[in-house]
Structure 1
Amino acid sequence: MSQLVEEVVTVACEAGESLLSALERQGHRVEYQCRQGYCGACRLPLADESQPQALTYLRPPLAWHEDNEVLTCCAHASTPVCLKLT
């Protein structure tokens, strides 16, 4: 039986950079497809549920996500954000 290993990472975005781009820059591999917020493939849970106030979307994404999740392809963070990677 296999277990999922959960890794918590802290991500800091540069000006104008999405969380997905910041994760890639830091060497993390995250699944994605559209990079536009349509498909939800890049959805990741927040490790700290008090952090949604640090997140902004330049335009509202169409993909569904919970309050404790973020669509990394189109979300930008004003402060470092802790995300759960599996």
Structure 2
Amino acid sequence: MKYHLQLYIAGQNLRSKKAITNLKEIEETYLKNDALIEIIDVLDEPEIAMKNGINATPTIVKLIPTPMKKSIADLMDIREVLFWLGIAT
């Protein structure tokens, strides 16, 4: 596993669904399915969000590779997400 990402969402609204779809597309196309991706719904698991300092959704967290980074984003701009992940295209 080259990447470990967490995506924090709030329910199954359109914005959350779009963020999930975009992240899965990035995983398949650019990460070559070499990533562990956790989808965490803060409405179902608020204690995890509080523990990890998540105050807004959608938020993506990159745990691996280090350093850990957080970004509040809907992942609409794939080039921006790739830059954030440190992947050159």
TM-score when normalising by structure 1: 0.30
TM-score when normalising by structure 2: 0.29
- Relative CO higher for 1 or 2, CA cutoff 8 Å, sep ≥ 6? 1
